[in-house]
A and B are shown apart, each in its own frame.
Chain A
Amino acid sequence: MKSLGSFRRKFAPWNDPEAKPYISIENVTKKFGNFTAVDDLSLTIYNREFFALLGASGCGKSTLLRMLAGFEEPTSGRILLDGQDMRGIPPYKRPVNMMFQSYALFPHMTVEGNIAFGLKQDGMPANEIAARVAEMLKLVKLEQFAKRKPHQLSGGQRQRVALARCVAKRPKVLLLDEPLGALDKKLREETQFELMDLQMKLGLTFVVVTHDQEEAMTMADRIAVMDKGKVMQVATPAEVYEAPNSKFVADFIGNVNMFEGPVSTVVDGKVDIDIAADKITIRTDATRDCSSGQEVGFAIRPEKIRVSRKEPANSAINSAHGELYDIAYFGDMTVFHVRLESGRIIKAASLNAVRTVEDPLGYDDMVWVNFDTDAGILLTA
């Protein structure tokens, strides 16, 4: 396990200019009538990468996956897999396999029959098929269920059969459409890690479609955040969360307090933004080029904001005073909603690191919120 982890930490072919992409999606557009599902989209995915397509429903992520599988042909643009143009190659000739959201297990076949189906299509000799099926059953720990039919299995078991069926053929790329969507929360968390282990063990390239950001963040090496058929940002989970490239991504991933206003000064690598409506001056690191007077956005995560009754040292910047309007207690952390005089609500989260606090913050308390100059992110898009 440790070796896998260290491999994983170093795995970053996207930063290596020499690395050859395994899947290249080049200017792909897909239209259904007048509706553009995928809009001039380009992406590169590397060998052995665990890649997630993340977006709300209707953003085009499933259409993209179906184009990789061959169920849809791009209206324009092309898809290369390991250097080969996939245009015109039907799904049953492609070296990729897909795990369906509904699992699509054949109801009239046993678990074994389902796993062997793809191998039979390749004309593999019967003894090899038997050996491969046994191996797959062992891999997903379903040996004693080989003779069962899909309806005799629990949801989690069905998911594992679906997985075994599509990895049995040793595809170059495994496509997973909401692989955990049908499982309950607890099972989902366990299965996430199983999927990651499996991907490492088999050394496969995974492309997973999901609308669940936690799932994408946990499993993926890189995430492509999609909206309206376009990729908004492609980056590692940490980058997407801590350094979103746009207001859309900042807002889409996790909780965020978003401010918008004109830049007043740019001095010494710091930018001051004037949020007139809330009477706040934000000072933040100039991580992006901007000039005085330009309208910019500023995003800050709740856990990076401090709440206290005491006035902070420099309350002229990155601070606001307001009334504690709502307290949401989650056990591991508490989220405070602070209402400023302007009516704006600022969300601040704090970790409950100790069990009891003397004189805890309560409803209607007047409190200060403040944050550091490197806590938030300047957004120009």
Chain B
Amino acid sequence: MQKLIASITSRLVISVPYLWMLIFFFIPFIIVFKISLSQVTMAIPPYTPTIDIAAGWQGLINSVSQFNWDNYTFLASDPLYYKAYLSSVIIAGISTFLTLLVGYPIAYGMARAPATVRSTLLMLVILPFWTSFLIRVYAWIGILKPEGLLNQFLIWANVIHTPLNILNTNTAVLIGIVYSYLPFLVLPIYSTLEKMDYSLVEAAEDLGCPPITAFWKITFPLSLPGVVAGCFLVFIPAVGEFVIPDLLGGSETLMIGKTLWNEFSANRDWPLSSAVAVVLLALLVVPIVLFQRSEAKAQESEK
């Protein structure tokens, strides 16, 4: 009896979240894939064929036979898409690197701070993370505009005489990504650095290593798990980013998240936007799996 109850509880604990994620996360991907093989029509829902359960097995075979790879052929033939994917990856890559450049010294400074200050600093990094993403992107519009605060400041300081055009360029997108995703990178690096035993660095210095060499030979390699996790946390969502290129980017900014959104809402081409999503997912599947592995490994090592 007891065993029965125990086995029922354990099944519930596993199956309730499992089923939820299957229905609301996994199955939707299959639907996306299915629709990416359909054609756009002027109807509700705006694609064909729709699977008609009432028509039974024959109906299913009928609709499956109408599936084709046309959307993918179209994606491959139009350079717009290929360029959008490429530039998304490039922009995400550059901004990940820039975020690391800005974020590592912050994480390092926090980890080296006196213990009393550390928790306050941690709170200060987390605070923007709890603040709306949209608001933080929006804040930059007022700063980067031609008549915005940055230009006003630079002209006042006599650095420039004509306003710089930053808003609606890729530079603005880069700034926006670095700014928005900075806490995602700082936190994992900080937590690995904070756990690190500083006597390792002291031992290295004691053995004749100058501080900078000690940093590159000891501190940095030991912080790599945090660096890797942080870079994934920035890179993967940045590739599919939509809000930042839409608000800060310009006509030159090609990013796949924006393309997908346009295909979906402006052109109402659901099958094509599904195909865009499937290809994007295929592109990101390797980094996502690597990220998931590194997280699972980190959890294991905590035990």
Contacts and interface: CB of A to CB of B under 8 A. Distances in A.
Query: In the complex, are there CB atoms of A and B closer than 8 Å?
Result: yes
B11 interface: no
Contacts of B3: 88, 90
Contacts of B6: 90
Interface in A310-325: none
Contacts of A93: 2
A90 B6 CA distance: 10
Interface string A82-95: 00000010100100
Consensus secondary structure, chain B interface? helix
5 contacts: A88-B3, A90-B2, A90-B3, A90-B6, A93-B2
Contacts of A90: 2-3, 6
Nearest to A92: B2
Interface in B3-34: 3, 6
A88 B4 CA distance: 12
A93 B2 CA distance: 10
Interface residues of B, number: 3
Contacts of A88: 3
A348 B6 CA distance: 59
Interface string A67-93: 000000000000000000000101001
Nearest to B5: A90
B54 to A, nearest CB: 51
A34 B235 CA distance: 42
Consensus secondary structure, chain A interface? loop
A256 to B, nearest CB: 39
A90 B9 CA distance: 15
Interface residues of A, number: 3
A88 B2 CA distance: 9
Nearest to A90: B2
A172 to B, nearest CB: 20
A74 to B, nearest CB: 16
A310 B168 CA distance: 102
A92 to B, nearest CB: 8
A248 to B, nearest CB: 33
Nearest to A93: B2
A334 B18 CA distance: 67
A88 B6 CA distance: 13
A258 to B, nearest CB: 40
A365 to B, nearest CB: 42
A372 B3 CA distance: 62
Interface string A107-140: 0000000000000000000000000000000000
Contacts of B2: 90, 93
Nearest to A89: B2
A90 B5 CA distance: 12
Interface in B259-300: none
A93 B3 CA distance: 12
A98 B101 CA distance: 53
A180 to B, nearest CB: 27
B252 to A, nearest CB: 58
A88 B3 CA distance: 8
Nearest to B6: A90
B2 to A, nearest CB: 5
A270 B225 CA distance: 68
Interface in B59-103: none
A139 to B, nearest CB: 32
A118 B2 CA distance: 18
Interface in A233-266: none
Interface string B227-249: 00000000000000000000000
Nearest to B2: A90
A97 B2 CA distance: 19
B1 to A, nearest CB: 10
B303 to A, nearest CB: 15
- The list of the 4 closest CB pairs from A to B, nearest first, reads A90-B2, A93-B2, A88-B3, A90-B6
Interface string A147-172: 00000000000000000000000000
B110 to A, nearest CB: 27
B242 to A, nearest CB: 44
A93 B6 CA distance: 14
A60 to B, nearest CB: 22
A340 B8 CA distance: 70
A340 B199 CA distance: 45
A42 B236 CA distance: 58
B292 to A, nearest CB: 26
B45 to A, nearest CB: 52
B72 to A, nearest CB: 46
A93 B5 CA distance: 14
A131 B6 CA distance: 33
B241 to A, nearest CB: 42
B4 to A, nearest CB: 12
A72 to B, nearest CB: 15
A150 B6 CA distance: 30
A380 to B, nearest CB: 45
